[in-house]
């Protein structure tokens, strides 16, 4: 049975059932897991249970995109964009903030990031203007950048996005080196599912994109 839109769904009367329904909406959580978590919350102290509720509230209230790279931050600029020790001439382009986390875990990248907030997908109606591509081109025109590492996902759409970006970047900025992560990442998934070591290898083996 598919999950219906929130508006159409009759509201269950009791709070316990409502909690189960909310948990069931989370990725990877079925009815049984949702019930198990709901019983856990019920058994927890008020303080513990409220800490979860407050963490959920704060993440929605406080996080917003970094003014430079688009990663999520609580300040105007994220910690990586603000860190003078990061190489300012290398930008790694990823699809989602979770991939910044994954690459940071590998410890193999010392430049800065640019988050597209998705990948091109004509079937799903995602066009270049729906992504943070204009912001990337503007940023690169600033002149400081020497290399752009395209770390879009190893999927058909991720590859198409990388090819599109390569073309656009070469057009406007012929002096910049554009590289793509080496193969070896699990195909068809996104970077955040890869092991830190695998991401490190893919970064080291990156090749110039033509
Ligand atoms: Zn940033």
- CATH code: domain of residue 93: 3.40.1360.10
- Tell me how far the alpha carbon of residue 25 lies from the centroid of ligand 1, in angstroms: 30
Q: Where are the alpha helices (DSSP H) in 113-182?
A: 133-141, 156-172
Contacts of 174 (CB under 8 A, 6+ apart): none
- Tell me how far the alpha carbon of residue 82 lies from the centroid of ligand 1, in angstroms: 7
Residue whose pair of structure tokens reads 């599109």 in the numeric block: 164
Residue whose pair of structure tokens reads 């690459």 in the numeric block: 103
Task: Give the span between the Cα atoms of 51 and 157, in whole angstroms.
Answer: 39
Q: Which domain holds residue 15?
A: 11-62
Span 40-93, pLDDT tens digits = 999 999 999 999 999 999 999 999 999 999 999 999 999 999 999 999 999 999
Q: Are residues 128 and 193 in the same domain?
A: yes
β pairing state of 147-150 and 177-180: parallel
Q: At 53, give phi and psi (nearest 5°).
A: -60, -40
- Tell me how far the alpha carbon of residue 208 lies from the centroid of ligand 1, in angstroms: 25
β pairing state of 90-94 and 147-150: parallel
* Cβ contact 108:137 at 8 Å: no
* Cβ contact 118:125 at 8 Å: no
Q: Are residues 105 and 198 in the same domain?
A: yes
Look at residue 3 and tell me whether its pLDDT is greater than 60. no
For the chain, how many structural domains are there in total? 2
Task: Give the span between the Cα atoms of 131 and 126, in whole angstroms.
Answer: 8
- Tell me how far the alpha carbon of residue 112 lies from the centroid of ligand 1, in angstroms: 8
User: Is 116 contained in some domain?
Assistant: yes
* Number of other residues whose CB lies within 10 A of the CB of residue 75: 12
User: Is 2 contained in some domain?
Assistant: no
User: Is 1 contained in some domain?
Assistant: no
- Tell me how far the alpha carbon of residue 94 lies from the centroid of ligand 1, in angstroms: 12
User: Is 169 contained in some domain?
Assistant: yes
Q: Are residues 44 and 81 in the same domain?
A: no
**pLDDT grade for 1, boundaries at 50, 70 and 90:** very low
Q: Are residues 119 and 41 in the same domain?
A: no
What's this model's pTM, rounded to 2 decimal places?
0.77
Q: How far is CA 19 from CA 22, 42, 98, 100, 120, in A?
A: 5, 10, 26, 31, 35
Look at residue 167 and tell me whether its pLDDT is greater than 70. yes
Residue whose pair of structure tokens reads 């009759």 in the numeric block: 10
Question: Which of 28-37, 96-105, 180-189 is predicted with the least confidence, judged by mean pLDDT?
Answer: 180-189
- Tell me how far the alpha carbon of residue 114 lies from the centroid of ligand 1, in angstroms: 8
- Tell me how far the alpha carbon of residue 17 lies from the centroid of ligand 1, in angstroms: 40
Task: Give the span between the Cα atoms of 115 and 138, in whole angstroms.
Answer: 14
């Amino acid at each position: 049975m598919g999950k219906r839109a929130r508006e159409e769904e009759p509201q269950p009367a009791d709070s316990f059932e409502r909690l189960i329904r909310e948990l069931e909406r989370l990725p990877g959580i079925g009815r049984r897991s949702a019930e198990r978590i709901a019983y856990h919350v019920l058994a927890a102290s008020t303080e513990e249970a409220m800490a979860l509720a407050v963490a959920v509230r704060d993440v929605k209230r406080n996080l917003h995109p970094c003014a430079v790279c688009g990663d999520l931050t609580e300040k105007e600029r994220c910690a990586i964009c603000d860190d003078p020790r990061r190489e300012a001439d290398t930008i790694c382009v990823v699809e989602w903030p979770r991939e910044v986390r994954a690459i940071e875990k590998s410890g193999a990248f010392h430049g800065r990031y640019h988050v597209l907030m998705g990948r091109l997908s004509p079937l799903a109606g995602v066009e270049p203007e729906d992504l943070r591509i204009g912001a990337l081109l503007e940023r690169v025109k600033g002149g400081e950048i020497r290399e752009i590492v395209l770390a879009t996902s190893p999927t058909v759409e991720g590859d198409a996005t990388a090819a599109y970006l390569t073309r656009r970047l070469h057009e406007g900025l012929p002096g910049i080196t554009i590289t793509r992560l080496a193969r070896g990442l699990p195909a068809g998934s996104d970077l955040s599912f890869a092991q830190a070591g695998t991401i490190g290898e893919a970064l080291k083996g990156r090749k110039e994109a033509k």
